[in-house]
Amino acid sequence: MKNQIMVYEDKVYGRTEIEEPVILELINSPELQRLKEVDQAGYFEPYYPGSKHTRFEHSLGVYLLLRKFGAPIEEQIAGLIHDVSHSAFSHAVDYVLSEGSEKEQSHQDNYFDEYVLASGIPSILKKYGFETGYILDETNFPLLETQLPDLCADRIDYSLRGLLAYGVVGAEEVGNILKKLMVQDRRWVFADFDSAYGFAGLFKVLNAEYYSGIKTAVMFRRLGDYLRYALQQGHITKEDLYTTDAAVLAKLNGNLADDPELDRLWRKLNDGGGYENDPDNYDAEVYCKSRIIDPLCRHNGEIRKVSDIEPDWKNVVKRESEPKKHRIRY
């Protein structure tokens, strides 16, 4: 792929030319291309109309962010492939398979190494002189991945992308957030407290209204019930879950006329309404992983966390770090 250039227009970072051969070959691999048809959030369209954005967009976004801020090429590669093991419907698989966890939504992370090693990615990495084991070890890449509530490239990109997709802010404000970001000592740092605190507040809005809110809990529960029943009845296999959203839905739609229960679950999934949170009289108890950040920023000549400057944020971080429990009555 020498001398080839890919021109990519990204909603967050704008127009970019990509010419690194290993990156181009990975982008064009079946593993990355599959993510073009895997929704970032699951099956959100009936619940959050117009918000669709894909794991492919996010994967390239993480790569572009790392490249923009001078991360080593190995970290850029790790960022590009970090989501290839996501199933169709993304974190919905945690509500389907026994290996998943509603509270942690960690099935994809647990399956990542196995998926990559069985894919064509190691041969591409070897071709260009990169060691797969090194790329798979996220401890080598502190800009890409850190534990919550710290900031990392993965969280920065999916939150900026989410802010745009859900219409929380516009492109100008996202651009201003990026202008306030910098990297110091292999850590993400905001230029000042106000920008860090403002971004943390926007992330909190995303978490409350989209990542862990009741509407999302209903979507995950209904989609999980639909897919689990389909697996039990043999309409799809576990392997089908590692194709695309469209492929799984097409396979299931062919069985709706012959399976009344599958049809009922499908109609319920697409309803988008007909529920309420009722802690005393409920049909389903559903957990959602809750996310919150406590960014670093420059403040009075030092680098400090938001919670060190604004003590109330410590309470927010503690509260929002706990999984959200929804008791849903239909």
Helix (H), strand (E) at residue 14: strand 14-18
> Is residue 64 left, alpha or beta, with left meaning phi > 0 and alpha meaning psi from -120 to 50?
alpha
What mean pLDDT is predicted for residues 303-323?
Answer: 97
What mean pLDDT is predicted for residues 187-209?
Answer: 98
Domain assignment present for residue 1? The answer is no
Per-residue pLDDT for 2 more than 90?
Answer: no
Local confidence band at 1 (pLDDT 50, 70, 90 cut-offs): very low
Alpha helices in the chain (DSSP H): 21-27, 30-34, 55-68, 73-81, 107-117, 121-127, 132-136, 153-165, 171-179, 193-206, 214-232, 245-253, 260-271, 306-309, 312-320
Two structure tokens written together for 126: 């070897």
Integer Rg of the chain from CA: 20
Q: Cβ contacts of residue 58 below 8 Å, gap of 6+? A: 40, 83, 157, 158, 161
Q: What is the pLDDT of residues 151-183, one digit of tens each?
A: 999 999 999 999 999 999 999 999 999 999 999
Q: What is the pLDDT of residues 36-89, one digit of tens each?
A: 999 998 876 778 888 989 999 999 999 999 999 999 999 999 999 999 999 999
pTM of the model: 0.95
Domain assignment present for residue 53? The answer is yes
Local confidence band at 3 (pLDDT 50, 70, 90 cut-offs): low
Domain assignment present for residue 33? The answer is yes
d(Cα 166, Cα 326) in Å, to the nearest integer? 22
Instruction: Using DSSP bridges, classify how beta strands 296-299 and 187-190 pair: parallel, antiparallel or unpaired.
Output: parallel
Domain assignment present for residue 231? The answer is no
Q: Write down the pLDDT at residue 100.
A: 75
Per-residue pLDDT for 185 more than 80?
Answer: yes
Domain assignment present for residue 245? The answer is no
Domain assignment present for residue 236? The answer is no
DSSP string, 106-140: -HHHHHHHHHHHTSSHHHHHHHTT--HHHHH-GGG
Domain assignment present for residue 311? The answer is yes
- DSSP state at residue 149: T
Q: What is the pLDDT of residues 86-141, one digit of tens each?
A: 999 999 999 999 777 899 999 999 999 999 999 999 999 999 999 999 999 999 99
Q: Cβ contacts of residue 80 below 8 Å, gap of 6+? A: 23, 26, 27, 32, 59, 60, 62, 63
Domain assignment present for residue 105? The answer is yes
Two structure tokens written together for 33: 């291309």
Per-residue pLDDT for 243 more than 70?
Answer: yes
Average per-residue pLDDT in the chain? Answer: 95
Using CA atoms, how far residue 99 sits from 51, 89, 137, 222, 284, in Å, is 28, 16, 22, 18, 20
d(Cα 94, Cα 86) in Å, to the nearest integer? 11
Give residue 138's domain range. 6-213+289-329
Number of domains in the chain: 1
Looking up residue 114, the CATH number of its domain turns out to be: 1.10.3210.10
What mean pLDDT is predicted for residues 215-227?
Answer: 95
Local confidence band at 274 (pLDDT 50, 70, 90 cut-offs): confident
Three-state SS at 282: coil
Q: First and final CA of the chain: distance in angstroms?
A: 54
